[in-house]
Amino acid sequence: MRRRPGIGGLQNAVVARDQYRLLGENVAKLRTDLMKEQLTTFRSQLEDFARKHKNDIRKNPAFRSQFHEMCAKVGVDPLASNKGFWAELLGIGDFYYELGVQIVEICLATRPHNGGLINLEELCKLLCQRRKGARETVSEDDCLRAISKLKVLGSGFEVISVGKRKLVRSVPTELNKDHNEILELAQAQGFVTVEEVERRLSWSSGRATDALETLLDEGLAMIDDGHRDGRRRYWFPCVSSISSYVGADTL
């Protein structure tokens, strides 16, 4: 005959449950403590590492970029604040803010020529020219990081990819897919003609003319009627290296 549940059985069950809970809590606490300890160790090691390789981080752009990657993986953003341990230790906050200011200046100075769209490569080259005196070299990765910090200003600084190249946009122009395709096409020679756009992209002539007119109005293109064949060419300073020259003259 099966025993019916009695008061003793119920009490036993309650005691058992309490004990399980206690045990569980202990285990969980142990684990958290362990994790906390590991994180502290990790953090202090990362700090040690940063301290030890401070100069490399400052001077070597490749090393700097790898360090950023490592920090990102463990959820530390050395650029998040200009105060606190990381900034004090490395001074990289200031480094990127300085780059940011210089990037804005270059974009403004070259804007009349390129309509506010500049090749990342060119921008980087101009930045290095400007910073000739500074000891640290600057990589494209640094430019991108500095630009990402500029976003908080809401001034419409943005990096767009066109074909294989990256362009930095400093005016709030919206470029649609058609415009991007034309820019990509122009990378080969620095210019396109209406015929070429129609042929290569299989567009109607209206569509090609329309997109080119917009790019012209935005100051991103310049017309050239001087060629022997009499066909109008649309040049794009943002994809030619000319932007650096004209920009460098006025900087």
Partner 1 sequence: MQKLGDLKLPHFFNYPPYFTLQPVRDTREKQVQLWKELILDYCRTQKIFVIGLEEDFPLFTNSVIERSLSHEARVAFLSALVSDGRAEWMDKGHRKCLILWHRIQEWADLILRFVKENGLEDSVMTVEEIRSGTESRGTDLHGMDRTVLMRALKQLENKGKLAIFKGTSADDEGVKFSL
Residues that bind partner 1 (CB under 8 A): 112-113, 115, 191, 216-217, 219, 222-228, 233, 235, 237, 240, 242, 245-246, 249
Rounded (10°) angle between helices 61-73 and 140-150: 50
- C-alpha gyration radius of the chain: 29
Paired with 168 in beta bridges are 118, 159
Minimum distance between the CB of residue 162 and partner 1, rounded to whole angstroms?
A: 20
Minimum distance between the CB of residue 243 and partner 1, rounded to whole angstroms?
A: 10
Minimum distance between the CB of residue 159 and partner 1, rounded to whole angstroms?
A: 23
Q: Which residue number, 94 or 213, has a Cβ lying nearer to partner 1? A: 213
User: CA–CA separation, 83 vs 127, rounded Å?
Assistant: 26
What string of DSSP letters covers 196-224?
Answer: HHHHHHT--HHHHHHHHHHHHHTTS-EEE
Q: Which residue number, 122 or 142, has a Cβ lying nearer to partner 1? A: 122
User: CA–CA separation, 37 vs 128, rounded Å?
Assistant: 43
Q: Which residue number, 68 or 113, has a Cβ lying nearer to partner 1? A: 113
Q: Which residue number, 66 or 209, has a Cβ lying nearer to partner 1? A: 209
Q: Which residue number, 163 or 219, has a Cβ lying nearer to partner 1? A: 219
User: CA–CA separation, 111 vs 243, rounded Å?
Assistant: 9
Minimum distance between the CB of residue 221 and partner 1, rounded to whole angstroms?
A: 8
Minimum distance between the CB of residue 189 and partner 1, rounded to whole angstroms?
A: 11
> CA distances (Å), 114 to each of 43, 162, 191, 227, 241, in order?
45, 16, 13, 22, 11
